[in-house]
Amino acid sequence: MRRRCGYYKKRSRRPVVLILVILLVVSFIIIEKTLSPIVDSMAEAQVHTLTTELVNETVNKLLAENPQYQDYQKLLTIERGSGGDVELMLPNTSLINQMVTEMTSKVSKQLATFDQTLEIPAGSITGSKIFASFGPNIPIKTTSLGYVNVKITDDFIAAGVNQTRHRIWLNITSEILVSVPFISDKISVETTVLLTEGIIVGPVPDTYVDIG
């Protein structure tokens, strides 16, 4: 009889354990649904800031070492007519390709060192300024995915009477993998840097090859 009672007593605990497991799973699902978007948003903002700073630092260093990359007259071949108006604008594709290749290499190498673990206080996910620095730290694992895309773009904007400002931009897009509790996501960080600009006096030339 004692053995039988002990057997039934042991069997009676199984539903309790099952209920506890179900409650634990449900709790994790609720936490994931509630906190994941907040944590992911904060992690993305922090990683975006750090990545932008790293890219800007790399770009500025490379441009300082290669001033020709910011020389408007070297990036473009400009031909003028007898009246002095610009008639033809052609990009210096050789110099531009050299810049893009070197920029891609430099930024990729710097982002390879970006693999690190950041932390944000758990209290910051409440949105309260008072409790922002309280609670245990939530680890944020960042990993560079090795994708870097460098592109040269330009635009024309009015700069006054019969004048047009021509701006040349450097656009760098990189991808970072962010891993936080409950979620792992890939974010794209775009950095835009003004390379150089020039003023065109008179009408914008009819013949122009896109610098991009």
Residue ranges covered by each domain of the chain: 36-208
Q: What is the pLDDT of residue 184?
A: 72
Highest mean pLDDT among 44-48, 144-148, 149-153, 202-206 belongs to 149-153
With 90 as the cut, is the pLDDT of residue 86 above it?
Answer: no
Split at pLDDT 50, 70, 90, the class of 1 is: very low
pLDDT digits (tens, 9 = 90+) for 145-167: 778 999 999 888 887 777 888 89
- Looking at 71-80, 112-121, 191-200, which range is the least confident one? 112-121
Over residues 182-210, mean pLDDT: 76
DSSP string spanning the chain? -HHHHHHHHHHHTHHHHHHHHHHHHHHHHHHHHHHHHHHHHHHHHHHHHHHHHHHHHHHHHHHHH-GGGG-HHHHEEEEE-TTS-EEEEEE-HHHHHHHHHHHHHHHHHHHHTT-EEEEEEGGGGGT-SSSTT-SPEEEEEEEEEEEEEEEEEEEEEEEETTEEEEEEEEEEEEEEEEEETTEEEEEEEEEEEEEEEEEEESSPPSEE----
**What percentage of the chain exceeds 90 in pLDDT?**
21
Q: 64 or 36: which carries more pLDDT confidence?
A: 64
Q: Considering the entire predicted model, what is its pTM?
A: 0.68
